[in-house]
Amino acid sequence: MAKSKKSQRSTEESLTQSAEETRAFGRKLAGRLRPGDCLLLTGELGAGKTTLVQGLAEGLGLDPKEIISPTFVLIREHDGKIPLFHMDAYRIGNARELLEVGLAEYFQRSGITVIEWGEKVRGSVPSDAIEILLEIVKGDLRRIRLIRPKKS
Ligand SMILES: Nc1ncnc2c1ncn2[C@@H]1O[C@H](COP(=O)(O)OP(=O)(O)OP(=O)(O)O)[C@@H](O)[C@H]1O
Ligand SMILES: [Mg+2]
């Protein structure tokens, strides 16, 4: 895993070669998160955003089988020791539509908020949100970049 620092941002880059490796990335990431954290997932259709959330859920002690893209409902809540709020901004025109279904309130609720197509709502989430960019390199190979606004 390569690390680099640019001003206040820290970037980590990983490669995964299968969906299971991306789930493992998510499981490991879960252990580094705290209640109240927000993750923005960016990457084209099929890049592996939902797959990563499945790993994240597992790492939080939730059933990964319950994780499906909340494309039509916008938000799915998963209750556990640390709740997971899984959102999908794919179908929305702008952040207002997620704000209307209560986006801002989720940040007060001591859970982990993860938003697929998160780049669409970047201006409406806490400034310390973690960005995860998933890129299809070739076949099953994915590049995952994790960007934290501040080193912590
Ligand atoms: N390295 C990999 N990481 C993640 N998924 C992979 C990988 N290699 C192959 N895949 C496959 O790619 C697909 C990723 O689907 P997934 O639903 O996670 O993508 P998504 O980014 O959430 O797409 P959407 O934008 O439609 O919600 C799955 O079928 C998965 O098995
Ligand atoms: Mg998805």
pLDDT digits (tens, 9 = 90+) for 46-87: 999 999 999 999 999 999 999 988 777 788 999 999 999 999
Distance of alpha carbon 96 from alpha carbon 111, whole angstroms: 21
Q: Which residue has the tokens 């409902």?
A: 73
pLDDT digits (tens, 9 = 90+) for 3-16: 665 567 899 999 99
Structure-token pair, residue 96:
């207002």
Which of 17, 50, 88, 132 for a ligand 1 pocket mutation test, highest count of atoms within 8 Å of Cβ?
50
40 sits in which H/E element: strand 38-42
Q: Report if pTM > 0.85.
A: yes
Nearest-atom index, ligand 1, CA of 141: 1
Nearest-CA residue for ligand 1 atom 3 is 19
- Domains, the chain: 2-148 (3.40.50.300)
Distance of alpha carbon 125 from alpha carbon 139, whole angstroms: 32
The CB density around residue 123, as the number of other CB atoms within 10 Å, is 8
Ligand 1 first shell, C-beta below 6 A: 16-19, 21-22, 43, 45-51, 69, 116, 140, 142
